[in-house]
Amino acid sequence: MNHFAFLAKIVTDIRIALALSTILPVGPQAPVNDGEIARASWALPVAGLLVGLGGAAIYSVARMTGLTAGPAAMLAVTGTVLITGAIHEDGLADTADGFGGGRTSDRKLDIMRDSRIGTYGACALVISLALRWSALAAIGKPGPVAAALSVSHAAARAALPMFMWLVPPARSDGLSAGAGQPSGQSAIIAMGLGMLCLIFGLGPSGAVIGAILLVLAGLITGWLAISHVGGQTGDILGAMEQIGEITIVLMVAALLETEP
């Protein structure tokens, strides 16, 4: 493969990752098959980084107009939700409804496929939005907020290919099963990119803490997924992203609070 073909493949993978993670019209013109989605999963942290930078830009502009940290943080969170089309929030809500409302694995999966939102899903959404908003508002300064947004979105998505590689699909159809299983190479590259973002955004010590917390979050989410429905689904991947994102922004807020 020559250098131009290799570069074109990288660009295509990033476009696929952006098309999966956002509503931006940047996907390849040719239809994307399942193998290409699994292959392009390494680029998910790149897509997450761009989403986080979009939220950071919104926050900075809001602060420059004179808004305080609270409203600016809400606008930043709203911006990232709009950029992604709330795809991960939808997954979180469906997962909460399924895990909380179903008695059997099959019933839980049926509930997760229902587009209507229930009590558990509504509560999960409120908690997710409130935690991200309050953490960003507590961080306050535009620089650290930009780092928290960028790193949290990138690192949370960096964990998804490894999660898909290690946790089997819960059903034979659906988004996750259709996307295919990422290769170990794709999963490792995604984790490496996520770690680089953690290091550049939070420094070596913050990166280590963030990586440990993300691993713990992944282990708990994987255990819950297997216990409840026998594996992962597209909705559970969305919930995993939300949990990772929340974990990082809360960690950044806590680290800044403990600084002298």
pLDDT tens for each residue of 89-148: 999 999 999 999 888 898 999 999 888 899 999 999 999 999 999 999 999 999 999 999
Domain containing 85 equals 3-14+34-249
Predicted pLDDT at 102: 83
Supply the pTM of this predicted model: 0.91
The per-residue pLDDT for range 29-73, each reduced to its tens digit, is 554 555 677 788 899 999 999 999 999 999 999 999 999 999 999
Q: Is residue 121 in a domain? A: yes
The per-residue pLDDT for range 174-208, each reduced to its tens digit, is 565 556 788 889 899 999 999 999 999 999 999 99
Q: Is residue 151 in a domain? A: yes
CB of 133 closer than 8 Å to CB of 74: yes
Q: Is residue 115 in a domain? A: yes
Cβ burial of 78 (10 Å; 0-12, 13-18, 19+) is: middle
Give the C-alpha separation, 130 to 136, whole Å.
10
Give the C-alpha separation, 218 to 192, whole Å.
16
Give the C-alpha separation, 119 to 25, whole Å.
33
3-state helix, strand and coil shares in percent for the chain, rounded to the nearest 5 = 80, 0, 20
Q: Is residue 178 in a domain? A: yes
Predicted pLDDT at 34: 58
Q: Which residues pair with 169 in a beta bridge?
A: 232
Q: Is residue 152 in a domain? A: yes
Q: Is residue 62 in a domain? A: yes
Q: How many folded domains does the chain comprise?
A: 1
Predicted pLDDT at 139: 95
Pick the closest to residue 148 from 241, 61, 62, 256 (CA basis). Answer: 256
Q: Is residue 255 in a domain? A: no
Residues for the chain: how many in total? Answer: 260
Q: Is residue 27 in a domain? A: no
